[in-house]
């Protein structure tokens, strides 16, 4: 079980939300009459995590000051009208230049904030093309002095982060134009992908890539089926507890033809003429050759031509020690291959941010939106519990970028996360961010069962609990004791991943969810935030379970060399790029950009020929074998049973404190639910969406 260092229990959540609600807004004096505190600019995580030392005054900080839109309400109204089927303005998007003219901050606002930064001797690197952000750098001492705050390191979710301990303040004459300051507090995103590999039971962590440029190798262990139910487990002892005595073995990894078949992506549209952008941190040196090799082996009828792929990369890459570039290489590989799987005719633009900080990733998204370089953007990353723990400046920067995307006709998708309701991660039920933004399409995950003929024989909410069989191999690895030999161990209530979702603490219910989302979900946090309905995620879902996952091909590091190999992977990092490809097909079929997808998606609610309603799985599980060393049989196997659509008890443990348990908060149900949203695409989804 991972050692988590944030304890955000219910009382702490209430304290954080109360602080967010009552803290002084920009414009209210704080301290000297000439300065104003920026509301919620202190990191909420600082209040819930232990200190990990002082920040050296000479340490360098890159940050950006994000400016308020000149007409926020007008921008929101325009984006809503342009995105809503049936509205007279539907589909009548602005160009980036028109957006900047109507809604961006003024050049005078940019200059006034730039002057302030220069007066404090910051190095001003310039403003974004849309004038919504000014990038600067300086030392920690400069930041503390200029913004009248204090900085310290904290342990958050196992990472050491620099956080602002109190609200930042700015001169009163510029406070009215500043939406927030992003980057002063670290907000690190992580890829939302999982192999589901057990790693060493003693440490419960997967093997690292070390100093290798390419990630450590991973291989799928036999037995596994090429389709769901092909191979049945008749050898392991039955798990019991009402589950089948002979469950199916895990799938080896679905291929592009299987996924296109299961989701009935059989129309003439294949995404041709549409550009899908993939945003991640860093850049794999072998991405194009890997994706081309993968297509030739698994989808030879749909090769990836070099002309279908381009990159837009940061000039330099930083923070490798904190972010782990090799892990992002796998994410990028997955994203590119998944987009090509569902939209083999689309052009793919990969945008590599210089590190995994949310501000840098948002800048990569902003660059695509500013240049209108793609019609669809997929982002397979997020911040655990970020809806509550991310500072307001970080969220404002991303929300404004997403708002501009909606107004200019760009679909932006985010993975909903792989930690389920995040209780096992942070000790509270909190949604991830940026997927909780009302201007993002949040893509959740399912367990997809594809039959021998490529048909969907079942699809359920992805929420996995697992139990390991105590074997001699597992015993030697420290996973069990002699007394348990030959027996199944208790279900691991830390869970083995699940579709992210939940109810926002900070975003009111958006217009498109009215009349669709049950009040029990939209009011779930009423005891903390009041009686107003709130945003609920995810919006829609596709395959994500790492035991029924997507087959990917990537250059990896093995003991005998560095070379291409294939393995199975899951997580909502699979579902987001898969859906991005589906949206690209929709754009081609419609002959226009769908733009902000949520209003159109929610207009399909109740259309069974377009939306597959994901319901409870009942008593279903899978058997799975994993190599103990992740790459071969030499050190033996670990065996596990993985419960499908788990909605039982989950547990959070923190250091030496007593563990706490609760029922999983996300559930599947008829209609909209908090695990899969509207459901999954099916049948006539592309045609119905294109006709909105």
DSSP character string of 349-375: EEEEESSSBHHHHHHHHHHHHHHT--S
CA dist., res. 259 & res. 428, Å (int): 34
Evaluate the CA torsion angle 323, 325, 326, 328 in order and state its sign.
positive
pLDDT the model gives residue 29: 45
Helix axes 358-371, 392-407, angle to 10 degrees: 20
633 DSSP assignment? G
Q: How far apart are CA 168 and CA 174, in angstroms?
A: 13
The residue written with tokens 């020690």 in the block is: 321
Is residue 158 scored above 90 in pLDDT?
no
- pLDDT score for 23: 43
Name the phi and psi angles at 389, rounded to 5. Answer: -95, -15
- Specify the pLDDT at position 149: 95
DSSP state at residue 647: -
Considering only CA atoms, give the Rg of the chain. Answer: 24
Cα distances (Å, whole numbers) of residue 332 to 280, 349, 408, 446, 569: 6, 11, 26, 21, 13
In this predicted structure, what is the pLDDT of residue 425? 87
Q: How far apart are CA 118 and CA 123, in angstroms?
A: 7
Q: Give CA 61 to chain center in angstroms.
A: 25
Tokens representing residue 63 in the block: 């940050």
| Alpha carbon distance 26, 17 (integer Å) | 18
Going from the C-alpha of 629 to that of each of 196, 223, 477, 479, the distances in angstroms are 14, 16, 10, 14
First to last CA, the chain: 46
Rounded distance between C-alpha atoms, residue 476 and residue 486, angstroms: 13
- Cβ(186)–Cβ(79) below 8 Å: no
**CA–CA distance, 676 with 668 (Å, rounded to integer):** 7
- Say which residue the tokens 């501000």 belong to: 359
414 CB neighbour count, 10 Å cutoff: 32
Residues 6+ apart with CB under 8 A from 134: 64, 65, 67, 110, 113, 114, 117, 124, 126, 127, 128
Q: Which residue, 285, 283, 286, is CA-closest to 314?
A: 283
Q: What is the DSSP string of 595-630?
A: -S-HHHHHHTTT-TTTEE------S-EEEEEEETTS
Query: Contact 170/99 with Cβ under 8 angstroms?
Result: no
The pLDDT of residue 40: 85
Distant-in-sequence, close-in-space partners of 206: CB < 8 Å, separation ≥ 6: 195, 197, 199, 630
Question: 340: which residues sit within 8 A by CB, 6+ positions away?
Answer: 256, 291, 295, 299, 302, 304, 308, 346, 348, 581
What Cα–Cα distance (Å) separates residue 470 from each residue in 183, 236, 476?
Answer: 46, 11, 10
Q: What is the pLDDT of residue 205?
A: 36
448 contacts 262 by C-beta, under 8 angstroms: yes
Please compute the mean of the pLDDT values over residues 126-152 and round it to a whole number: 97
CA angle 556, 276, 268 (to 5 degrees): 105
Query: CB atoms < 10 A from the CB of 564, how many?
Result: 15
The 3-state DSSP class for residue 56 equals coil
Beta strands in 471-573, from DSSP E residues, in sequence order: 502-508, 534-537, 540-543, 550-558, 561-569
Which H or E run includes 160?
strand 159-164
CA distance 605 to 625: 39
Taking the whole predicted model, whether its pTM rises above 0.75 is answered as yes
Q: Could you tell me which of 463, 400, 542, 469 has the C-alpha nearest to residue 79?
A: 400
Q: Are 184 and 151 in contact (CB under 8 A)?
A: yes
* Longest CA pairwise span in the chain (Å): 76
Confidence of residue 48 (pLDDT cuts 50, 70, 90): confident
- Dump pLDDT digits (tens) for 196-254: 988 766 543 333 333 348 999 999 999 999 999 999 999 999 999 999 999 999 999 99
pLDDT band at residue 51 under the 50/70/90 scheme: confident
Is the distance from CB of 194 to CB of 546 less than 8 angstroms?
A: yes
Q: How far apart are CA 135 and CA 122, in angstroms?
A: 10
**Whether the Cβ atoms of residue 595 and residue 523 lie closer than 8 Å to each other:** no
Q: Ramachandran region of residue 534, left (φ > 0), alpha (ψ -120 to 50) or beta?
A: beta
Q: Do the beta carbons of residue 585 and residue 269 sit within 8 Å?
A: yes
Report whether the peptide linkage leading into residue 685 is cis, meaning its omega lies within 30 degrees of zero.
Answer: no
At 435, list the tokens.
């997927």
Both tokens of residue 548? 């029924």
Residue 13: its pLDDT value, please? 60
In the numeric block, the tokens 């297509």 are attached to 295
pLDDT tens profile 483-510: 999 999 999 877 789 999 999 999 999 9
- Alpha-carbon distance of 94 to 103, in angstroms, equals 11
- Mean pLDDT value across the chain: 92
Average pLDDT rounded to a whole number, residues 633-650: 96
Phi, psi at 283, each rounded to 5°: -160, 125
Q: Which pLDDT value is given to residue 15?
A: 56
* Integer Cα distance of 555 and 221 in angstroms: 18
Query: Which is nearest to 547 in space by CA: 440, 463, 436?
Result: 463
Q: Which phi and psi angles does 51 have, rounded to 5°?
A: -70, 145
pLDDT at 17: 57
CA dihedral 176→182→184→186, nearest 10 degrees, is: 150
Contact partners, residue 59, CB within 8 Å, separation at least 6: 139, 140
For the segment 319-330, what is each residue's pLDDT rounded down to a tens digit? 999 999 999 999
The whole-number pLDDT of residue 33 equals 52
Q: What percent of the chain has pLDDT over 90?
A: 85
Q: Per-residue pLDDT for 673 more than 60?
A: yes
**How far apart are alpha carbons 565 and 556 in whole angstroms?**
7
Mean pLDDT for 529-548 is 97
- Under a CB-based contact definition with an 8 Å cutoff, are residues 526 and 533 in contact? no
What pLDDT band is residue 544 in, cutting at 50, 70 and 90? very high
């Amino acid at each position: 079980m991972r050692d988590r260092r944030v304890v955000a229990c219910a009382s702490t959540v209430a304290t954080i939300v109360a602080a967010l609600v009552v803290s002084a807004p920009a414009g209210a004096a704080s301290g000297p009459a000439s300065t104003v505190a920026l509301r919620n600019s202190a990191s909420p995580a600082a209040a819930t995590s232990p200190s990990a030392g002082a920040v050296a005054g000479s340490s360098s900080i890159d940050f950006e000051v994000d400016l308020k839109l000149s007409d926020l309400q007008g921008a929101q109204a325009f984006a809503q009208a342009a995105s809503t089927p049936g509205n007279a303005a539907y589909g009548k998007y602005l160009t980036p230049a028109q957006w900047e003219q109507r809604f961006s901050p003024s050049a005078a606002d940019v200059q006034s904030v730039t002057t302030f930064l220069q007066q404090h001797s910051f190095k001003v690197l310039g403003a974004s093309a849309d004038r919504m952000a000014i990038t600067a750098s300086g030392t920690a001492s400069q930041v503390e002095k200029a913004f009248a705050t204090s900085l310290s390191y904290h342990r958050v979710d196992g990472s050491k982060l620099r956080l602002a301990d109190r609200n930042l303040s700015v001169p009163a004459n510029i406070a009215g134009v500043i939406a927030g300051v992003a980057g002063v507090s670290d907000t690190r995103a992580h890829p939302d992908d999982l192999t589901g590999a057990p790693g060493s039971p003693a440490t419960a962590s997967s093997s690292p890539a070390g100093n290798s440029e390419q990630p450590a190798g991973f291989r799928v262990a036999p037995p596994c089926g090429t389709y769901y139910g092909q191979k049945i487990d008749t050898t392991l002892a039955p798990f019991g507890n009402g589950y089948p005595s002979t469950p199916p073995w895990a799938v080896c990894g679905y291929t592009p033809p299987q996924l296109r078949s299961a989701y009935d992506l059989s129309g003439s549209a294949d995404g041709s003429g549409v550009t899908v952008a993939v945003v991640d941190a860093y850049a794999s040196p072998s991405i194009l050759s890997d994706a081309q090799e993968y297509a030739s082996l698994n989808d030879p009828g749909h090769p990836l031509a070099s002309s279908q792929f381009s990159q837009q990369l940061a000039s330099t890459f930083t923070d490798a020690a904190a972010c782990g570039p090799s892990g992002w290489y796998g994410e990028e590989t997955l994203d590119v291959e998944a987009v090509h799987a569902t939209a083999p005719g689309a052009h793919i633009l990969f945008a590599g941010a210089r590190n995994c900080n949310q501000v840098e990733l948002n800048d990569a998204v902003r660059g695509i939106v500013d240049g209108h370089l793609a019609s669809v953007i997929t982002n397979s990353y997020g911040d655990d519990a970020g809806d509550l723990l991310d500072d307001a400046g970080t969220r404002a920067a991303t929300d404004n970028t997403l708002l501009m995307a909606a107004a200019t006709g760009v679909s932006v998708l985010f993975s909903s996360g792989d930690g389920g309701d995040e209780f096992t991660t942070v000790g509270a039920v909190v949604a991830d961010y940026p997927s909780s933004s009302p201007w993002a399409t949040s893509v959740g995950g399912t367990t997809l069962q594809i039959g021998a003929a490529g048909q969907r024989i079942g699809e359920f909410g992805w929420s996995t609990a697992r139990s390991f069989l105590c074997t001699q191999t597992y015993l030697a690895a420290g996973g069990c004791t002699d007394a348990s030999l030959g027996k199944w161990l208790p279900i691991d209530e830390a869970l083995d991943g699940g579709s992210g979702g939940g109810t926002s603490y900070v975003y009111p219910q958006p217009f498109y969810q009215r009349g669709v989302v049950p009040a029990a979900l939209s009011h779930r946090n009423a005891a903390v935030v009041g009686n107003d309905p709130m945003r609920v995620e995810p919006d829609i879902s596709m395959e994500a379970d790492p035991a029924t996952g997507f087959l990917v091909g990537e250059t990896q590091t093995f003991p005998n060399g560095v070379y291409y190999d294939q393995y199975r992977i899951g997580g909502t990092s699979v579902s987001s790029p898969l859906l991005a490809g589906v949206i690209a097909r929709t754009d081609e079929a419609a002959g226009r950009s769908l733009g902000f997808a949520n209003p159109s998606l929610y207009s399909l609610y109740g259309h069974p020929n377009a939306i597959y309603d994901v319901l409870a799985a009942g008593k279903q599980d899978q058997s799975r074998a994993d190599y103990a060393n992740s790459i071969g049989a030499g050190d033996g196997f670990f065996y596990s049973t993985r419960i499908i659509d788990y909605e039982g008890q989950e547990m959070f443990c923190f250091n030496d404190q007593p563990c706490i348990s609760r029922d999983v908060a996300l559930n599947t149900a008829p209609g909209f639910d908090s695990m899969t949203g509207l459901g999954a695409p099916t049948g006539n989804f592309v045609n119905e969406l294109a006709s909105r």
